A and B are shown apart, each in its own frame.
Chain A
Amino acid sequence: MGTIIIIGVITLTVAGIVLSLILYLVAQKFKVVEDPRIDLVAEKLPGANCGGCGFAGCRALAEAIVKAENLEGKACPVGGVPVMAQVADVMGLKAEASDPMVAVVRCNGGKCNTHKKVSYDGAKDCVVANQNFAGEGACSFGCLGLGNCSRACKFDALYINEQTGLPEVNQDKCVGCGACVKACPRLVIELRKKGLKDRRVFVSCINKDKGAAAKKNCDVACIGCGKCEKVCPFGAITVANNLSYIDFNKCKMCRKCVAECPTGAIHAVNFPPAKPKVEKPAEETAQVNNDNNPQEKGTVNENI
Chain B
Amino acid sequence: MKTFNKGGVHPEENKLASNNKTKVFPLTKKAVVFVSQHLGAPATCLVQKGDKVKVGTLLARADAFICANTHSPYSGTVTKVDVAVDFNGFKKPAIYIDVEGDEWEESIDRTADIKREITLEPKEIVQRMKDCGIVGLGGAAFPTNVKYMVPDGKKAEFLIINGVECEPYLTSDNRIMIENTEEIFIGIEIMKKALGINTALIGIENNKPEAIKLMTAMSEKYKGTEVVPLKLKYPQGAEKQLINALTGREVPSGKLPIEVGCVVDNVGTALAIYQAVQKNKPLIDNVMTFTGKSVKPENQKNLLVRVGTPLQEIIDYCGGLPEDTGKLISGGPMMGKAIMDTSAPTVKTTSSILVINEKEAKRQTPTPCIRCGKCVDACPMGLEPVLLSTLCSQDKWEEAENECVMDCIECGCCLFTCPANRPLLDLIRVGKFKVGALRRARAQK
Contacts and interface: CB of A to CB of B under 8 A. Distances in A.
Contacts of B341: 117, 138
A134 B88 contact: yes
A132 B91 contact: no
Interface string B60-99: 0000000000000000000000010100111100000000
Contacts of B429: 128, 131
B194 interface: no
A131 B410 CA distance: 13
A138 B91 contact: no
Contact of A133 (B89, B91, B430): B89
Interface in A100-120: 117-118
A127 interface: yes
Contact of B433 (A121, A127, A132, A135): A127
B362 interface: yes
B426 interface: yes
B430 A127 contact: yes
Contact of B423 (A122, A135, A213): A122
Q: How large is the interface on B (under 10, 10 to 19, 20 to 34, 35 or more residues)?
A: 20 to 34
Interface in B271-300: none
A267 B188 CA distance: 62
B426 A128 contact: yes
B363 interface: yes
Contact of A117 (B88, B340, B361): B340
A133 B338 contact: yes
Contacts of B338: 132-133
B218 interface: no
Contacts of A140: 89-91
A125 interface: yes
A109 B19 CA distance: 47
A127 B437 CA distance: 13
B108 interface: no
Top 7 A-B residue pairs of the complex, sorted by shortest distance between their CB atoms: A134-B89, A123-B426, A123-B423, A128-B426, A127-B430, A133-B340, A133-B88
Interface of B: 83, 85, 88-91, 337-338, 340-341, 361-363, 423, 426-427, 429-430, 433-434
Given A122-B426, A140-B91, 18 more contacts: A117-B340, A118-B340, A121-B363, A122-B363, A123-B427, A125-B426, A127-B430, A127-B433, A128-B429, A132-B88, A133-B88, A133-B338, A134-B90, A134-B340, A135-B89, A138-B341, A209-B91, A213-B91
